[in-house]
Amino acid sequence: MKTHTSSVRFWTLAVATVTSLSVAAACTSTGTSTGTSSVSPSGTELWSQHCSRCHNIRSPSEFSDSEWDAVMLHMRIRADLTGGEARSILAFLKASN
């Protein structure tokens, strides 16, 4: 009897949580799409945010322009960047090497 009651509570809570999460997600995605068009972070910011997540950040001077082209083909997928973000980072890398 006790177990039954608490499992009902669990599911009520779980449903409530899922509902509020999807509402939050809907709000966030609307906010992000307006946000990206008005204030887009620079290539430098994107580079420092994304490219240090999995490994030490690699200095722009470590690779030539054509090497960065190849690296970004792979790292764009790994970092799950949009085309625009990848282009900003690549522009920053090529301007700073």
Give residues in contact with ligand HEC (CB under 6 A): 50-51, 53-55, 58, 71, 74-75, 78-79, 89
Whichever of 32 and 49 has its CB closer to ligand HEC, that residue is 49
Whichever of 2 and 53 has its CB closer to ligand HEC, that residue is 53
Nearest distance from residue 72's CB to ligand HEC, in Å? Answer: 6
Contact 78, 54 (CB under 8 A): yes
| Burial (0-12, 13-18, 19+ Cβ within 10 Å), 33 | exposed
CA-based nearest residue to 55, from 30, 74, 34: 74
Runs of H (alpha helix) within the chain: 2-38, 43-50, 65-79, 83-96
Q: What length does the chain have?
A: 97
Nearest distance from residue 35's CB to ligand HEC, in Å? Answer: 20
Whichever of 33 and 80 has its CB closer to ligand HEC, that residue is 80
Whichever of 9 and 78 has its CB closer to ligand HEC, that residue is 78
Nearest distance from residue 95's CB to ligand HEC, in Å? Answer: 14
